Amino acid sequence: MLSKNTVKFIKSLHQKKYRTENGQFFVEGEKSVLEVLHSDFLIELLLITESFGKTHSEVLKSYSGQLIQVTQNQLEQLGQYQSNDSALAVVNMKANTAFEPKTSDLIIALDDVRDPGNLGTIIRVADWYGINKLVFSSQTAEFYNPKVIQATMGSFTRIQFFYGNLEEVLDRWNLPVYGAFLNGSNIHQMAKPEPGILLMGNEANGISAELEKKVTQKVTIPGFGQAESLNVAIATAILCDNFKRLMST
């Protein structure tokens, strides 16, 4: 049975303050919850409808945490989806642990990308292109924001990430840094790049002056129309496509 305290707790996770205090976040919807169930994230509480339980009974056999059956209306009251007839999971956050890159890696670094939708889309793009390492500046949107989690469509379960001082990180790694600029070299005419870091900047201001100094090669996506610029998530996707194509030749 769903208690008032449980309802109150899950609703508190809509706010960053309580997500941080409790070290937990929530995931909703059939696809994303299934992705979490198959991942190395630890689920503390799983709320499911009767139909979800019947459809995914085999998957649920390996789940050992707290399980509560609820109605669709209860799920929709707890989460942010207008329609959720499947499940909602309360999940433990992972520690903010820095990773060290491999020589074959292409890593995405985000400098002050503040829109949760953009961050979530970039994570999904990275997963599509097999890029599983991302590093974020401290001003970048919160990874566990529900809008970020929703936009990833489950891809958040397959990446490594951490937040840190990007200047220090780039200095420590000592890898080529490819920065996205409007005045950079045409990505379509770029030679085969060495593995390194693709640095993307803030939605309005681009890459900061401090991090621009760390860039070893500026790149740009050539435009053919009148638009002033591209959305950062779209630009990331186009650049990832070009980098992966060039690196595979």
**Rounded distance between C-alpha atoms, residue 21 and residue 49, angstroms:** 28
State the pTM of this model: 0.96
User: What pLDDT shows up at residue 154?
Assistant: 97
Please give the single-letter amino acid code of residue 152: T
User: What pLDDT shows up at residue 31?
Assistant: 97
CA angle 219, 220, 223 (to 5 degrees): 165
Backbone angles phi, psi at 183, to 5 degrees: -105, 25
E strand or H helix at 186, and its extent?
strand 177-186
Per residue of the chain (249 residues), what is the pLDDT tens digit? 899 999 999 999 999 999 999 999 999 999 999 999 999 999 999 999 999 999 999 999 999 999 999 999 999 999 999 899 999 999 999 999 999 998 888 999 999 999 999 999 999 999 999 999 999 999 999 999 999 999 999 999 999 999 999 999 999 999 999 999 999 999 999 999 999 999 999 999 999 999 999 999 999 999 999 999 999 999 999 999 999 999 998
Query: In 3D, which of 178, 45, 156, 165 has the Cα closest to residue 105?
Result: 178
Tokens of 116: 């949760």
**Rounded distance between C-alpha atoms, residue 147 and residue 203, angstroms:** 17
User: What pLDDT shows up at residue 249?
Assistant: 84
User: What pLDDT shows up at residue 16?
Assistant: 98
